[in-house]
Structure 1
Amino acid sequence: MSRYWSAVVHQLKPYVPGEQPKLANLIKLNTNENPYPPSPQVLAAIQAELGDDASRLRLYPDPGATGLRATLARQHGLQPAQVFVGNGSDEVLAHIFLALLKHEDAAGQPRPLLFPDVTYSFYPTYCLLYGVTARTLALDEQLGLHLDDYIAQADAGAVIFPNPNAPTGRGVPLADVERLLLARPDMVVVVDEAYVDFGAESAATLVDRFPNLVVVHTFSKSRSLAGMRVGYALAQVPLIEALERVKDSFNSYPLDRLALAAAQAAVEDEAYFEQTRQAVMRSRDWLGTELTKLGFEVLPSQANFVFARHPQHSGAALQQVLREHAIIVRHFRQPERIAPYLRITIGTDAECQALVQALVAALKGSL
């Protein structure tokens, strides 16, 4: 703490990212990275961008990400002007919070932003950073999200939620998202679809119909590009213009040349994308079945992870015993009602099998 800090810094509670340990022979199942490498076309595109002497790196990248936006627009059946790209979906979300989610009523009183009480923990961080008034709505006893609860909040100014939700992995039907948009045209609705490619229904198909909808995607999960930091938003042009204003007041060149080339190639290799996402979903279903056999309660997941608890052992104890087997999973101590759970990223088949074997041994020895 320093007397030179700005006042806002004292109020911040920074997001805590998943651990990135440097351990030999580690099975890393804690940060929802894809277990498979990116498309071979991605590597070829990066090499082509570098050329023989990497001289292009002395030049700034395209500030408008023209090629990538056109490719994403074709993929989603939209126009390039309806696509916004940024340095990972976290930066895209940061710009959304600042540009679109801070509202007041006619009397100058804040209209709260709504999001679930168990969700992506960057949301409250951004609220503190940008001075956005927040109101959380509780998930049900099965950690499910009900959008009718959000419709009923008459004073709200905006809504954000992941679909599927994180860290639970549970999704909501597209029909429910559409009902929310129809019922509350006065609110900005942001659907954070970081994990949508693993079995949920995307709201991208609704963008042309609803001027208050923003859909956010990332290349970190289903496209295997967490190390390149690429994310994007889909919305009608007036909302995209607001995001562009913020971006160009912050950083006009958010994506470097290699990230732009890699992301475009990843989108264009649809066959590889389909192959790897199907492999992840098969492994997820297998792992859920095996954990259930071991006595775990496993929430239905449409993401590349499972959220599970064992009725006889704490989440903290299970996380520690797995660590002793060089397997890292994610455990959340807060909110308290999810403390019994582990969030387990889907790895390769061999990694999932090693996880199950470690749990079998631990449970036989009662940890």
Structure 2
Amino acid sequence: MSSWKDNLRTIEPYVPGEQPDLPDMIKLNTNENPYPPSPKVQEVLDQYDINALRLYPDPNSQHLVDAIAEYNGLNSDQVFVGVGSDDVLAIAFMTFFNSKKPILFPDITYSFYDVWAELFQIPYVQKPLDDHFEFVRSDYYGENGGIVIANPNAPTGVVQELDALRDIIDHNRDVVVIIDEAYVDFSDHSALELIKEYDNVLIVQTYSKSRSLAGMRIGHAMGSAELIAAMNDVRFSYNSYPMTRLSVEIGAAAIRDKAYFEEMRKRVVDTREWTKKELTRLGFTFGDSKTNFIFAKHKTIPGEVFFDELRKKHIFVRRFGNNPRIKDYLRISIGTQKEMEILVQELEKIEKMH
């Protein structure tokens, strides 16, 4: 007798960072922003007419699309919005990766990429980063069905310069190249200018990190009008109202408050640089992170030791213990200056114990 279970699609799911709920915790494991959203967001909440929530939202999320386009110097038809960058990336995978050739992305990168590939039955090949967690450009020169590059990369924090990206794109003019810039606001330079040079490049960004709105789930993509139109066709084929009325208003308000954004960004970057110096003093090694986290490994003490000891103190960091190449690394999100000072103190205690 056949069973309905024979027709299940079984996928090894993405495992998000732990979300503990402890009053005294220091949460440095999911790359959230330690500072509140823009005061303009609070104004939207204070003034919002809840009666509007009985109505469906604008399917085009035009107010938010226009605000993002204006901020980035683009036309509105070059912007796509979704429920966090995960939603945007998933739709991009469905839209652009439909050949029988494998898409390419690194072996150490955002671990949702292979999950989406499996879910949407897209063939893929993971190309190993070198010993310094750098891309091997020539690995991306061969025939393929598309390229995905997280830049800065996660969880390593390493940035590919524009010339390196151009080189990869120039070798892949017949497929779509996605550049996932979830952490770009903490780096020196976005690759956004590349969409003016290439019609096959899609830039994806998020409000979850630099704009302190992980709880609202707002993401966007930017590219040629033709790429964006194709994504909208796919999106409208299964969900015609993706963004809530409230998220549209909050997103538009947040991106227009540039002064507050720059102030909070600077705070995070300044604390990150201070933390780098302290971690170096304690015997950690790491790449030159341009994100709101540091991916660090101690010279002698296993990562599991630090992870477990910090957890006892209700200090949560991220560890990828199932990957032999990076099992001794800790991904440490940048919290407030005070939180990072406490972290360093505890790391110092652990080091002395071992």
2:235 counterpart residue number = 247
Residue type matched to 2:288 in 1?
Answer: P
In structure 1, the partner of 2:304 is: 316
> In the alignment, is residue 4 of structure 1 matched against residue 10 of structure 2?
no
Letter of the aligned partner of 1:303 in structure 2?
T
**What SS does structure 1 have at the residue aligned with 2:57?**
coil
Task: Tell me the residue number matched to 1:21.
Answer: 20
- Count residues with an aligned counterpart: 353
The whole-number CA distance in structure 1 between the counterparts of 2:291 and 2:105 is 19
Q: Is the 1:102–1:133 Cα contact (8 Å) retained in structure 2? A: no
Matched, 1:176 2:164: yes
Equivalent in 80, 85, 89 of residue 85 of structure 2: 89
1:71 to partner: Cα distance: 1.1
Note the C-alpha offset of 1:38: 0.3
For residues 5 and 90 of structure 1, the distance between their equivalents in structure 2, rounded to whole angstroms, comes to 28
| 1:333 Cα deviation after fit | 1.4
| 2:118 is the alignment partner of 1:128 | yes
2:31 maps to 32
Summarize deviations over 1:58-112 as a string: whole Å, max 9, x none: 1111110111111111111111001000000000011011110221xxxxxx211
Alignment equivalent of 2:353, drawn from 347, 360, 365:
365
Structure 2 residue aligned with 1:71: 67
**Counterparts in 2 of 1:295 and 1:79: CA distance versus 1, 3 Å:** same
Mapped pair 1:138 → 2:128: yes
Residue identity matched to 1:325: K
Unmatched runs of 5 consecutive residues or more in structure 1: 104-109
Question: Tell me, what secondary structure is at the counterpart of 2:12?
Answer: coil
- Whether 1:111 and 2:101 are equivalent positions in the alignment is yes
Residue 189 of structure 1 deviates from its aligned partner by 0.3
Runs of 4+ in 1 over 6 A off after TM superposition: none
Between 61-70 and 160-169, report the one with greater CA deviation. Answer: 61-70
In angstroms, what is the RMSD of aligned CA positions? 1.3
Aligned to 1:260: 248
Q: Distance in 1 between matches of 2:310 and 2:81?
A: 38
Seen in structure 2, the aligned counterparts of structure 1 residues 60 and 117 have a Cα distance that, compared at 3 Å, is same
In structure 1, distance between residues paired with 2:41 and 2:226: 32
Rounded to whole Å, the distance in 1 between the matches of 2:6 and 2:193 is: 42
Q: Does 1:306 align with 2:305?
A: no
**Distance in 2 separating the partners of 1:67 and 1:172:** 33
| Alpha-carbon separation, structure 1, partners of 2:95 and 2:253 | 30
Give the equivalent residue in structure 2 for 1:297: 285
1:278-289 aligned at under 5 Å gives the runs 278-289=266-277
Shift of residue 6 of structure 1? 6.7
Give the secondary-structure state (helix, strand or coil) at the position aligned to 2:319.
Answer: coil
Percent same amino acid among aligned pairs? 44
Partner of 2:201: 213
Q: Supply the distance in 1 between the matched residues of 2:46 and 2:93 (Cα, whole angstroms).
A: 35
**CA apart distance, 1:146:** 3.4
In 2, are the aligned partners of 1:102 and 1:113 still within 8 Å (CA)? no
Distance 2:288 2:279 in 1: 12
Quote the residue 2:316 is aligned against. Answer: 328
Partner amino acid for 1:217? Answer: Q
Unaligned 5+ residue runs, structure 2? none
Q: Secondary structure at the match of 2:325?
A: helix
Letter in 1 for 2:130: D
Which residue of structure 2 aligns with residue 41 of structure 1?
40
2:230 is matched by which residue type in structure 1? A
Work out whether residues 164 and 200 of structure 1, in 8 Å CA contact, stay in contact via their aligned partners in 2. no
Indicate if the aligned counterparts of 1:207 and 1:213 stay in contact, CA closer than 8 A: yes
- The equivalent of 1:147 in structure 2 is 137
Residue from 163, 177, 202 that aligns with 1:189: 177
Amino acid aligned to 1:64: N
Cα separation, 2, equivalents of 1:175 and 1:76: 21
Amino acid at match of 1:279: R
Asked whether the equivalents of residues 119 and 165 of structure 1 are also in contact (C-alpha less than 8 Å), the reply is yes
- The 3 A distance-change label for structure 1 pair 41 and 140 is same
Report the secondary structure of 2:226's partner residue: helix
Give, in angstroms, the shift of residue 7 of structure 1: 3.7
SS at match of 1:70: helix
Residue type at the aligned position of 1:100? F
Q: TM-score scaled to structure 2, two decimals? A: 0.97
Aligned to 2:190: 202
